């Protein structure tokens, strides 16, 4: 996936003379290799290192964007967005507060997010929910290389500031044939990954793969799992939705699906309280009340900081997803 992101940045720099890519350590290629070779191809004035200051990077990006330049800023880990929180939440409201006279819409923040197996507290976080209330900033999370390139190009060209969160565990593990040309995937549009009639599962980023694993086990349980999974659920028809854009999210696709299936599970890595799952659950119960046959289940990280040694039991893994499916279907 890192190559797909690099390709999107290359396309941007090639086609948009006002575009710049900057952040901590992006010049030599970035700590995740997402900016490899870009400084050589486009020059140090367009692809450059900044001092180590997230609030500085965010403010600098806003300043570039208010002057109409395309700013693609990297924040090295999503865990380190918080020093820039004030700039992103208070000052990216440039358009609203200036009556539309000024804006920083040509600004995109890229930041690696989510668990990586051994990231502990500060290399594992999924901070998307903090931005649910930051009206004016869009938040996008891709699941794969094709998605990453298409959504990133759309994010960079979107006339609003966008926070583009890249699940770093997918940088090297997610591999697929990505079109070399220029293409975009729409923001604020969820994608139905598989159609189903009995249960809707909504997620984004890495848990989508865990859900696929869980669904495989549901259909073909191992000897150890079989006694815990009712026979009647073997051929459960599950509709799986990738939300893709977190703010503003595509409630229409989710509601249509839940109205059809009557049951819904939301899965993500971030903690539960005040989360995307909580937000979606509230919307779903409001819009699908008469169709719901079970409570909307939230399978998320626990409300604790991300402890290093506990990752297996912190994240919603395939076991928790199987349990969620069984509990929701037997309700």
Partner 1 sequence: MEVMTMLPVLDQILNASQRQGRLSFYMTSYGEEGVVVGSAAAWENDDEVFAQYREVGVLLWRNYPLSSLMAQCFSTKSDAATLGRQMPVHYGSKEHHFHTISSPLATQFPQAAGAAYALKRTPGRENSCVVCYAGEGATSEGDFHAGLNMASVLGGALVFVVRNNGFAISTPTSQQYAGDGIAARGPGYGIDTIRVDGNDPLAVFLACKEARRRAVEGKKPVLVEAMTYRVGHHSTSDDSSAYRSLSAVESVKKLDSPLFRLRRYLESLPKPRWSTERDNAAKDSAKRAILREFSKAEKDKKPPLAAMFGDVFARVPEGAEREGARGGLERPQREQKEELKRLIEKWGDTPGWKKELAKFDGGKEAVSKW
Name which of 154 and 211 has its Cβ closer to partner 1. 154
Among 79, 166, 250, 311, binds partner 1 (CB under 8 A): 250
Residue 66 binds to partner 1 (criterion: CB under 8 A): yes
Instruction: Give me 143's structure tokens.
Output: 């699941």
- The one segment of 61-69, 234-242, 262-270, 295-303 that binds partner 1 by CB under 8 A: 61-69
Name which of 132 and 201 has its Cβ closer to partner 1. 132
Residue 236 binds to partner 1 (criterion: CB under 8 A): no
Residue 183 binds to partner 1 (criterion: CB under 8 A): no
Sort strands 245-247 and 238-242 into parallel, antiparallel or unpaired: unpaired
- The one segment of 26-34, 80-88, 201-209, 292-300 that binds partner 1 by CB under 8 A: 80-88
Give the shortest CB-94-to-partner 1 separation in angstroms. 7
Residue 65 binds to partner 1 (criterion: CB under 8 A): yes
Residue 67 binds to partner 1 (criterion: CB under 8 A): yes
Name which of 33 and 93 has its Cβ closer to partner 1. 93
Residue 63 binds to partner 1 (criterion: CB under 8 A): yes
Name which of 51 and 227 has its Cβ closer to partner 1. 51
Name which of 33 and 157 has its Cβ closer to partner 1. 157
- Nearest 5°: the CA angle 16, 18, 20 is 95
- Catalytic positions are 54, 123
- The one segment of 53-61, 209-217, 223-231, 296-304 that binds partner 1 by CB under 8 A: 53-61
Among 40, 176, 195, 252, binds partner 1 (CB under 8 A): 252
Name which of 61 and 145 has its Cβ closer to partner 1. 61
Residue 44 binds to partner 1 (criterion: CB under 8 A): no
Give the shortest CB-32-to-partner 1 separation in angstroms. 23
What is the strand order of the sheet 297-301 is part of?
191-194, 238-242, 199-203, 264-271, 297-301
Among 30, 112, 136, 207, binds partner 1 (CB under 8 A): 136
Name which of 99 and 227 has its Cβ closer to partner 1. 99
d(CA 241, CA 190): 7
Residue 83 binds to partner 1 (criterion: CB under 8 A): yes
Residue 98 binds to partner 1 (criterion: CB under 8 A): yes
d(CA 21, CA 49): 9
d(CA 126, CA 234): 32
List all residues 6 or more positions away from 230 whose beta carbon is below 8 Å from its beta carbon: 326, 329, 330
Among 110, 138, 244, 318, binds partner 1 (CB under 8 A): 138
Binding site for partner 1 (CB under 8 A): 18, 20, 45, 48, 50-51, 53, 55-69, 71, 83, 86-87, 90-91, 93-103, 105, 135-136, 138, 158-160, 186, 188-189, 248, 250-252
């Amino acid at each position: 996936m890192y190559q797909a992101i690099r390709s999107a940045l290359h396309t941007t720099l090639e086609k948009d003379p006002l575009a710049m890519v900057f952040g901590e350590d992006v010049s030599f290629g970035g700590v995740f290799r997402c900016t490899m070779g870009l400084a050589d191809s486009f020059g140090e004035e367009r692809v450059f290192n900044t001092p180590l200051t997230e609030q500085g990077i965010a403010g600098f990006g806003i300043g570039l964007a208010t002057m109409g330049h395309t700013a693609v800023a990297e924040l090295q880990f999503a865990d380190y967005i918080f020093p820039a929180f004030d700039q992103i939440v208070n000052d990216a409201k440039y358009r609203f507060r200036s009556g539309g006279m000024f804006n920083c819409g040509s600004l995109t923040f890229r930041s690696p997010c989510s668990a990586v197996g051994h990231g502990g507290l500060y290399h594992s976080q999924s901070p998307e929910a903090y931005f649910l209330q930051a009206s004016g900033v869009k938040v996008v999370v891709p699941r794969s290389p094709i998605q990453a390139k298409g959504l990133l190009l759309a994010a960079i060209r979107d006339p609003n500031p966008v926070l583009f969160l890249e699940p770093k565990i997918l940088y090297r593990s997610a591999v697929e044939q990505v079109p070399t040309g220029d293409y975009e995937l729409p923001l604020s549009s969820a994608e139905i990954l598989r159609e189903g009639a009995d249960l809707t599962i909504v997620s984004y980023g890495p848990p989508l793969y865990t859900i696929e694993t869980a669904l495989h086990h549901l259909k073909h349980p191992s000897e150890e799992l079989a006694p815990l999974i009712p026979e009647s659920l073997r051929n459960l028809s599950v509709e799986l939705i990738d939300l893709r854009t977190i703010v503003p999210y595509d409630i229409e696709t989710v509601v249509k699906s839940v109205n059809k299936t009557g049951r819904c599970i939301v899965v993500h890595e971030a903690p539960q309280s005040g989360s995307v799952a909580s937000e979606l659950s509230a919307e779903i119960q409001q819009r699908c009340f008469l169709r719901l046959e079970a409570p909307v289940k939230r399978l998320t990280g626990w409300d604790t900081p991300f402890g290093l040694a506990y990752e297996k039991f912190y994240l919603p893994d395939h076991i928790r997803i199987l349990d969620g499916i069984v509990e929701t279907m037997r309700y």
